[in-house]
Amino acid sequence: MAIQNNLPTPVIDAIQEHHGTGLVSFFHHKASLQLEMDFYEKGRNANTQVREGDFRYPGPKPQTRETAIVSLADAVEAASRSLEKITPGNIESLVNDIIEDRRNDGQLDCCELTQADIHKLKQTFTSTLLTMLHGRVSYPKNENIGKSAGNVPAGSG
């Protein structure tokens, strides 16, 4: 679809590479649990295993710094939505865990991100998510607010 719509090559690359060959862990875990249930409930062959490769994106891995940054930003933003408690520590841990998981899985092996880049990304993602996800003060609902002030011009008080 991106090619059909003549999107620029760097955008097409980012679309194709941003998941890399990463594991779709939710579905892999679900399939593993199902296999275990089948074994205990139905006595299926204990040697059967869920193949991790069946639950990986086809790739390729990010080839440039830019596509790697898109990949990491996408992952941390998506995961941040599942946080139950938004605290600086929770967000920092989430960002660190995701980036380290991607590194350990080899997803950053084909791009040219440096250690300094990764450090800067961790800081930037953490501060950006803190800004995006901060809570708002709950104001009490008062139906009388604005009724008497409705006749007063803005900025005259």
- Please write the tens of the pLDDT for every residue from 110-126: 999 999 999 999 999 99
- Please write the tens of the pLDDT for every residue from 70-105: 999 999 999 999 999 999 999 999 999 999 999 999
Per-state percent for the chain, helix, strand, coil, to nearest 5:
55, 0, 45
pTM summary value: 0.77
What number of other Cβ atoms are within 10 A of residue 126's Cβ?
19
- Domains of the chain, by residue range, sit at 62-134
Q: What percent of the chain has pLDDT over 70?
A: 83
- Please write the tens of the pLDDT for every residue from 37-47: 877 777 666 55
